Amino acid sequence: MSDDCSNVGPRPAPGAAFRSSQAPMSVSASLILRAPDSPVVLARDHAVDLLKGLACLLMVLAHVPFPDAPWLNIATMGSVLFFTSTGMNLWGLVSRERGDEARIAANGLFLIFAGFANNYVQGTLGQADVFQSAGMAMIAMLGLRWLWPRGWTWLFPLPFAIHYLNQHVFYWKIHDGGVSSFFLTPGLFPLLPWLSFYLMGAHLKRYPSPRMRLAVAASALAALGVVVGRAGWDFNKFWMSPDYWLLGLAFPALLLDAIRRWLGRRPRPPWGEIRFWGANSLVFYILHSLVLRFFGIWIPGGVWLLLAGVAGTALLLRPGLWLQAWARERSPWGVLAGAGLLAGAILGLEAGYLGGSYFARTFISFGLTLAFVAAYPAFKRLSDRLPRALPRREWMLHS
């Protein structure tokens, strides 16, 4: 059995439905298992779920103020873990020879569009947020796979190389803001260089051996030693300094290797709650901002806000997933229309009646993201109806 499958439970019976905590909001970690003369069956990749669950925990930590502990800036590596593990999930989608590129691209476009709602809530309009980053990565990975189907995951250093040339040679972009912030730094999560982590995740999924994980980590750490020895320690996420990028390559590879080895020695996968967060990570991400702002009214920061944020988000995650389950059972057109009307009503209320009330504007704005929670599975149901193209291999055979 391959390393990729070493931590997966018993194979479901042929034709049996896959039932788990998987939610349509997350690009869920799964393996494709095939039995003779049976349909494709999915099983959890517990290592990826756990990796992304730890990313959720680090994201909460990164958004809690700790004025006396600036070293906790290392928690921003949660974003790197999140994008790397998402790349592992996207590998399973992009690499399948099923002709569903149009569906994947449509879902990516929806994430890009819906990300403006989260930008509005966070006050970061004009910069790529997590959803938009994932959507752009989905489309970019489709394009790279089409251009170089056999070796596209080996291109994971290329996005950072383009970013580095911009920062140090050509200076195409030197100020934040504008459409260019979706593609180049400075910005939140522009496609270049953050696509590197998505592609590295896909690469580690495509080549799942411990040797590949350790080779990536060792190469990155060796280069990191050279960079820090020559230029010192910078660790700048916003501008994506070379030391931040190199550590961002080594950390997920080493952590994934440790998790796979640890799970391989256990009869049953542990830490079910954290794996549950990872399996539904985008919903978790949406809700943790609301929870932190709520508790932040009384707790300005520190350990108590961190504990309240984690516990509150974990509790609110269940109603969020129930909302998605409810939306999946309704007409997708009706759900999308209702979500659009709710979003329009919220924007109109904020523009005309709430004035300068910070808390009222803040909390009502989260209605936009809750509308997105319901709208995304509805849109995915519609995108499933798109016609499937002939897979590239069959197209070449028939041409």
Which stretches of the chain drop beneath a pLDDT of 50? 1-41, 395-399
- pLDDT, residue 343, reads 83
Cα torsion 376, 380, 386, 388: sign: positive
User: Residue 340 in contact with residue 368, Cβ under 8 Å?
Assistant: no
Ramachandran region, residue 76 (left: φ > 0; alpha: ψ -120 to 50; beta: rest): alpha
| Token pair of 95 as six digits | 């690499």
Helices 210-231 and 191-206: crossing angle in degrees, nearest 10, is: 150
> Residue 353: is it exposed, middle or buried by C-beta count within 10 angstroms (0-12/13-18/19+)?
exposed
Helices 272-279 and 46-62: crossing angle in degrees, nearest 10, is: 80
Q: Which residues contact residue 142 at a Cβ distance below 8 angstroms, ignoring those fewer than 6 apart?
A: 94, 101, 104, 105, 108
- pLDDT, residue 21, reads 36
* Distance of alpha carbon 207 from alpha carbon 203, whole angstroms: 6
Residue 44's DSSP bridge partners are 30
- pLDDT, residue 359, reads 67
| Token pair of 279 as six digits | 């399996």
* Distance of alpha carbon 184 from alpha carbon 196, whole angstroms: 13
How far apart, in Å, are the Cα atoms of 128 and each of 1, 69, 191, 263, 355? 40, 28, 8, 35, 27
**Tokens 């609301």 -> residue:** 290
> Residue 392: is it exposed, middle or buried by C-beta count within 10 angstroms (0-12/13-18/19+)?
middle
* Distance of alpha carbon 189 from alpha carbon 179, whole angstroms: 13
* E strand or H helix that includes residue 135: helix 130-147
How far apart, in Å, are the Cα atoms of 72 and each of 3, 75, 224, 244, 397? 33, 6, 20, 14, 55
CA-closest candidate to residue 227, choices 205, 248, 254, 202: 248
- pLDDT, residue 179, reads 78
Task: Report which residue type is found at 12.
Answer: P
Within 10 Å of residue 310's Cβ, how many Cβ atoms?
20
